[in-house]
Each structure stands twice: as structure tokens, then as C-alpha cells.
Amino acid sequence: PYGACANGLRTLGPCSDLKICVGRSTTTFTKVQQLFAARFIVAMDSSTVALQGLASGECNAVASDSSGLSFENIRRVGLYAGAYEIGDKLYSKEPLASVVRQDDPVFASFV
């Protein structure tokens, strides 16, 4: 139920014990602070540590950018193997871009 709580910005009733882990020094953290009261936010040292908070039960939701929450990424990092869902709402649009060295034209053309 907590995915629906966070996705719908709900914090009352069954959502009153929502705890969202989020990396402290991220733009996602700033956005979560704008959307939720401080009592619902668990600030972590990084987005990876935020995923560990979900695995340990310290929180019941995680906020991150889309790439950090992909099924492949979470399974690849091996931090959480339980069932989970990814919300369908984006509350910010952070530009992600690849950067390559100038002396590697093969990789640059691949990217």
C-alpha cells in the first residue's frame, strides 16, 4: 500500500506511517521535502543507502530518479530482492546525459 501512498501524495489513514528513504544530497531530496512533511522523510547518505533502508525495513518507500529505481538496477545492485512496485508519476524531470572523453571517438559514437 505504501507505493500508492507515496505515488498519490497521501499521508492520512493507512498511509500515516509512510517512511520515504531518499538520498540527502540529491535533487530528489529537495523535491520530496516540497511534497511531504519532514516526519515522512528518512534522509540517507546516498540513493544506494536509501535502497538499503528499504531492504532493512527502516522505510517502506524510496524516492529516486527513474534510472535508480528500475527493476534491473535494484536487482543488479543486490540490495533488495523482495516484491515492490514503481510509481507511475514523475514529480520532477531531471535531465540525464552521458558524458564522454574527447579522446574516445568509438565510445562517443556508441553513446
Q: pLDDT tens across 79-92, in order?
A: 656 677 777 777 77
Q: Can you give the pTM of this predicted structure?
A: 0.76
Helix then strand count (H, E) for the chain reads 5, 3
> Of 6-15, 43-52, 94-103, which gets the smallest average pLDDT?
94-103
> Is the Cβ–Cβ distance between 44 and 21 less than 8 Å?
yes
**pLDDT band at residue 94 using 50, 70 and 90 as cut-offs:** low
Write down the residue that cell numbers 489513514 correspond to.
13
Instruction: Give the pLDDT of residue 79.
Output: 61
C-alpha cell at 96: 540525464
State how far the alpha carbon of 38 is from the alpha carbons of 18, 34, 53, in Å: 11, 9, 17
